[in-house]
């Protein structure tokens, strides 16, 4: 089998970091973001990127790194609240932005990966989101047409992988990762641990290896927390 | 005296029923979790991919891979399951969540809600709010009755861009509670905060509503 | 919490077995079929049923039981090859039949459960399946509109459950079960084993409990095999 | 001498490449699995919800919960993953499977295929065949060149109801191999079974094709 495991993030991106490509990046806030691959994409210098990601990172972490270096031309996101540089570029007209409702964004990625070019949803009917979109009635209710999304490269973060590219995620760090893994023409996964063949329970695999073309093991995960909220121990 | 934020949350919590699956919005609605009756069993959903959300962790329990939709660290319970964002919003859009409690900038007498953008200001995005108001079976809005300028937030028509059209079922404000029986019916004022008068509510409300105290 | 665990299949069906309802039944062939619930549905005597199921069982097992007793008015399936009584009733005009491509059937159930009333697919374009359906171009290719499916009652078979209704499936016995579990107004699961609270790994749950309203533990699973194909031990 | 079924399967297996994900149809196509080169690594998908299909089990290994799309008992491998029917066909429809080998009743010179129903006879259903021909990147048909009456199965136009329109990329029959470069190009006869002549193929083929032996 063509070996899916690459030495590091830069090697895994080789040949793919062309200006103007569309990149999906998993994660919710800073939870489960492909932090090594994003840093390597920044280092690659690829620019005019369209980034599909639920959020845009913070100023010095996650996709914020690519904003600082002006490598992103357009974002497709549901919420971008934590990023001053984003705000500055957007208000200055330097950055295009397309807001999608979070569930619509997730479903568009899932649809793209599953060969569904369009689907109808109630979400956003009667709002700005519905403007210019086809409306259709089903059972007396109005729905709008949303389209599937695919990316030239999808970057995802998982917990463990085996050499076949099978991935498992951990807790809420799954979020958009498993969906986006299906929607990349090339999907690159970074994981905390590479296990041997047969060590993952075949009934518990979140992303079957068919979706993963390249794979790296990341070192020293930062896993930054945005809102550390604690209670007193009893 | 108008209700405090905590009292508003307590009042909203009374709408939760045994066996309900509930999504609580970011901000004031999260306070509702503190007031869930001990005699009922409620499961909280977090739209980033979790069903069965537990309390905040102790310092030792903090786990960067375990956050809620407000990006706060949380804990899991014995009932917890995790899933993808697509499956999470399938749950929401498919009408499987019984109730959602959300904040709002404006609610209109026809059930419209605006809570995601103010033209001219930096817009952070709608996150999951549009999906929640479109998909969840029952929507309760928890909001101050008036804005900082003292103007009604319960209006004849929303002035801000909508999050959803004709979706709100109940409003719990600091002054009282409005409810409607279905999406074709008008809102009714059904409850007043202690010491608040019907006249005070009327003077601070632009929306048309019926009184059913 | 309202207790989801019922004493047996008949008790779990109580109040639901109204004539004319639409029933989804999981399984692929005879693998992973809700055998106890189907038998109890037969015993309930409910008739004029519309059954959504990939297959129709065999003459004396699975949905074949309901065909024998003429309780099914219409089947929505992808393949019904293993059933003489089915053939007899269908050729005699006693049974309505709607064929869906297997992937379209699975996606229609998933869509129904996820609040998607319609989606576009390439599958079936230019065939009998496309007749009467809306055609639409996306990116220069033609797709047809298929609609979401929901059922009054969904019957599914899982391997294990906990008291919250969280389900896990085993190997290829998952098939349509996890999809249909999301699309029932009432979903009833039968399982081989009920485990205690917290005994299922929250990262490995296939069907979150929100989708399951009622639950039974089945006894003495028959698990019939249609094509027992073996090789010589080395 | 025309190829045997096993030789046809062997020929089709030559189209498999290292790293391919492949779905083999029910019947003759399953024989292809016996001829996968030892120097290449191929993963078989079964559309009932499995990636990484192993060989038939020994008597001791038989597991009713582990079958393939032909409902045959099978085994798992170290690479195996299981998933739902919706996810399985997402994989297929989404173009993630590299190659599918299928049987057919008829193939037309424009790439149409018919393999699921004969009007007037009992119809068992299309199962996953329509999804496979629509979604998989490359479709190889494995079929006898003629039917029992000796009539060509590779036709100017299909007479039976279609399974898919303009989807077939290659035909391996007992007489030889036809291929086309893309879905706008004509089929070319590129190979003959040993001892079979171009004339014999022509006399037994209704479809128009080019010769590129």
C104-117 pLDDT per residue, tens: 999 999 999 999 99
Residues on B contacting C at a C-beta cutoff of 8 Å: 18-19, 21, 41, 43, 45, 51-52, 76, 78-83, 89-97, 135
Question: Which one of A3, A164, A204 makes the best mutation probe of the D interface by having the most chain D beta carbons within 10 Å?
Answer: A164
Reply yes or no on whether the pLDDT at C2 is more than 70.
no
Q: Which helix (H) or strand (E) holds D201?
A: helix D198-203
* pLDDT for C183: 98
Of D65, D117, D165, the CB nearest to C126: D165
Residue C64 falls within a domain, yes or no?
A: yes
Our CA angle for C156, B41, C16, nearest 5°, is 35
Q: Look up tokens 């700005």; give the residue.
A: A128
Mean pLDDT, rounded, for A205-229: 95
Q: How far apart are CA B119 and CA B96, in angstroms?
A: 33
Residue A233 has pLDDT above 80, yes or no: no
Q: How confident is the model at residue A82 (pLDDT cuts 50, 70, 90)?
A: confident
Residues of chain D whose beta carbon is less than 8 angstroms from a beta carbon of chain A are 18-19, 21, 41, 43, 45, 51-52, 76, 78-83, 89-97, 135
Q: How far is it, in rounded angstroms, from Cα D65 to Cα D208?
A: 46
> Is residue A229 in some structural domain?
no
What is the average pLDDT across A99-120?
98
Exposed, middle or buried, A219 (CB in 10 Å: 0-12/13-18/19+)? exposed
Q: Which two tokens stand for residue A89?
A: 């570029």
Indicate the helix (H) or strand (E) that contains C99. strand C96-99
**Residue A86 belongs to some domain of the structure:** yes
- The secondary structure of chain A, three-state, reads CCCCECCCHHHHHCCCCCCCCEEEECCECCECCCHHHHHHHHHHCCCCEEEECCCCCECCECCHHHHHCCCEEEEEECCCCCCHHHHHHHHCCCCEEEECCHHHHHHHHHHHHCCCCEEEECCCCCCHHHCCCCEEEECCEEEEEEECCCEEEEEEEEEEECCCCCEECCHHHCCCHHHHHCCEEEEEEEEEEECCCCCCCCCCCCECHHHCCEEEECCCCCCCCCECCCCCCC
Q: List chain B domain ranges.
A: 5-211
Task: Give me the helix-helix angle, B85-93 and A102-113, nearest 10°.
Answer: 120
Q: Give the whole-angstrom CA distance, residue C190 versus residue C214.
A: 9
Structure tokens at B69: 């939709």
Which of helix, strand or coil describes residue D109? coil
Q: What is the CATH number of the domain that holds C177?
A: 3.40.1080.10
How far CA A50 is from CA of A56, B35, D144, in Å, comes to 12, 44, 50
Q: Which whole number is the average pLDDT over C194-202? A: 98
Catalytic: D191?
no
Nearest chain A residue to B117 by CA distance is: A128
Query: Within an 8 Å CB–CB cutoff, is residue A79 touching chain B?
Result: yes
| CB burial readout A34-72, b (16+ within 10 A) else e | bbbbbbbbbebebbebbbbbbbbbbeebbbbbbbbeebb
C182–B41: do the CB atoms touch at under 8 Å?
no
* Other Cβ atoms within 10 Å of B208 Cβ, number: 12
pLDDT digits (tens, 9 = 90+) for A141-163: 999 999 999 999 999 999 999 99
User: Per-residue pLDDT tens for A83-100?
Assistant: 888 888 988 899 999 999
Contacts of C197 in chain B (CB under 8 A): 78-79
Res A191: pLDDT? 98
Decide: B166 and B110 in contact? Cβ < 8 Å: yes
Chains D and B touch (3+ CB pairs under 8 A): no
Return the axis-axis angle of helices C102-113 and D85-93, rounded to nearest 10°.
Answer: 120
B25-67 residue pLDDT tens: 998 999 999 999 999 999 999 999 999 999 999 999 999 999 9
Q: Average pLDDT in the A75-84 region?
A: 90
Find the distance separating the first CA and the last CA of chain A, reported in whole Å: 53
Identified catalytic residue from B47, B191, B199, B206: B47
Chain C residue numbers touching B95 (CB-CB < 8 A): 115
Chain B partners (3+ C-beta pairs within 8 A): A, C
Cβ–Cβ gap C99/D162 under 8 Å? no
Q: Which of residues 144-183 of A touch B (CB under 8 A)?
A: 159, 169-179
CA C110, CA C100: separation in Å to the nearest integer?
Answer: 14
Q: Do D134 and C175 touch (CB under 8 A)?
A: no
Q: pLDDT (tens digit, 9 = 90+) per residue, A115-134?
A: 999 999 999 999 999 999 99
Q: Helix, strand or coil for residue B198?
A: helix
Quote the CA–CA distance of D81 and D54 in Å, as a whole number. Answer: 12
Q: What is the pLDDT of residues C26-79, one digit of tens each?
A: 999 999 999 999 999 999 999 999 999 999 999 899 999 999 999 999 999 999
Q: Which of A164, A205, A211 sits opposite D96 (nearest CB)?
A: A211
How far, in Å, CA of D176 to CA of D198, rounded?
A: 9
Within a domain: C131: no
Whether the predicted pLDDT of A1 surpasses 60: no
Instruction: Tell whether C116 lies on the interface with B, counting CB pairs under 8 A.
Output: yes
Residues of B with Cβ-Cβ distance to C162 under 8 angstroms: 78-79
Q: What is the ipTM of this complex?
A: 0.97
Which is it for strands A135-138 and A141-147: parallel, antiparallel or unpaired? antiparallel
End-to-end CA distance of chain C: 53
Name the token pair of D3.
């190829």
Region D5-211: CATH code: 3.40.1080.10
Chains contacting A with at least 3 CB pairs below 8 Å?
B, C, D
- Supply the range of the domain harboring residue C86: 2-117+148-217
CA distance C222 to chain D (A): 9
**Per-residue confidence band for A78, with pLDDT thresholds at 50, 70 and 90:** very high
φ/ψ of B6, rounded to 5, equals -70, -35
- The kind and range of the H/E element at B132 are helix B129-135
B140 close to B32: Cβ distance less than 8 angstroms: no
Q: Which of C78, C87, C233 is closest, CB to CB, to D122?
A: C87
For chain B, counts of helices (H) and of strands (E): 4, 13
pLDDT in tens, chain D (213 residues): 899 999 999 999 999 999 999 999 998 999 999 999 999 999 999 999 999 999 999 999 999 999 999 999 999 999 999 999 999 999 999 999 999 999 999 999 999 999 999 988 888 999 999 999 999 999 999 999 999 999 999 999 999 999 999 999 999 999 999 999 999 999 999 999 999 999 999 999 999 999 999
Residue A188, φ and ψ in degrees, nearest 5: -115, 130
**Chain B within 8 Å of A223 (Cβ-Cβ)?**
yes
For residue C74, what are the β-bridge partners?
C50, C96
Contacts of C205 in chain B (CB under 8 A): 81-83
Look at chain C and report how many structural domains it folds into.
1
C32: contact with D, CB 8 A cutoff: yes
C1 pLDDT higher than 70: no
List the single residue in A79, A105, A232 with the smallest CB-CB distance to B124: A79
């Amino acid at each position: 089998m063509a070996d899916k495991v690459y030495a590091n993030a830069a090697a895994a991106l080789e040949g793919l970091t062309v200006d103007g490509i569309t990149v999906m990046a998993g994660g919710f806030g800073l939870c489960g973001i492909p932090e090594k691959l994003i840093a390597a994409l920044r280092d690659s210098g690829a620019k005019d990127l369209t980034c599909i990601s639920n959020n845009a990172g913070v100023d010095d972490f996650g996709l914020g790194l690519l904003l600082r270096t002006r490598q992103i031309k357009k974002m497709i996101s549901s919420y971008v609240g934590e990023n001053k540089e984003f705000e500055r570029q957007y208000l200055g007209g330097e950055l295009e932005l397309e807001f999608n409702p979070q569930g619509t964004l997730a479903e568009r990625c899932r649809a793209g990966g599953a060969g569904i070019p369009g689907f109808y949803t109630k979400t956003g009917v009667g709002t700005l989101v519905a403007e210019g979109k086809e409306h259709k009635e089903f059972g007396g209710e109005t729905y709008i047409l949303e389209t599937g999304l695919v990316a030239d490269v999808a970057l995802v973060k998982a917990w463990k992988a085996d050499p076949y590219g099978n991935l498992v995620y951990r807790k809420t760090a799954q979020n958009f990762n498993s969906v986006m893994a299906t929607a990349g023409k090339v999907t690159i996964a970074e994981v905390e641990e590479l296990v041997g063949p047969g060590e993952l329970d075949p009934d518990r695999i979140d992303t079957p290896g068919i979706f993963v073309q390249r794979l790296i093991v990341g070192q020293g995960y930062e896993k930054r927390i945005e809102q550390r909220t604690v209670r007193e121990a009893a | 005296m108008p209700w405090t934020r905590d009292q508003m949350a307590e009042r909203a919590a009374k709408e939760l029923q045994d066996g309900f699956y509930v999504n609580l919005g970011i901000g004031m609605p999260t306070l509702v979790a503190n007031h869930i009756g001990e005699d009922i069993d409620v499961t909280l959903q977090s739209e980033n991919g979790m069903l069965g959300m537990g309390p905040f962790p102790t310092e030792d329990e903090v786990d960067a891979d375990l956050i809620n939709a407000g990006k706060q660290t949380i804990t899991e319970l014995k009932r917890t399951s995790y899933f993808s964002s697509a499956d999470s919003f399938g749950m929401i859009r498919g009408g499987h969540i019984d109730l959602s409690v959300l904040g709002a900038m404006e609610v209109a007498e026809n059930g419209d809600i605006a809570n995601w953008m103010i033209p001219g200001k930096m817009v952070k995005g709608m996150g999951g709010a549009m999906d929640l108001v479109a998909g969840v079976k029952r929507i309760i809005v928890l909001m101050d009755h008036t804005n900082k300028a003292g103007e009604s937030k319960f209006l004849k028509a929303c002035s801000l861009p909508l999050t959803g059209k004709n979706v709100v079922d109940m409003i719990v404000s600091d002054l009282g509670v409005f409810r409607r029986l279905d999406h074709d019916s008008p809102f009714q004022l059904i409850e007043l905060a202690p010491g608040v008068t019907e006249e005070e509510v009327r003077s601070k409300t632009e929306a048309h509503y019926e009184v059913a105290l």
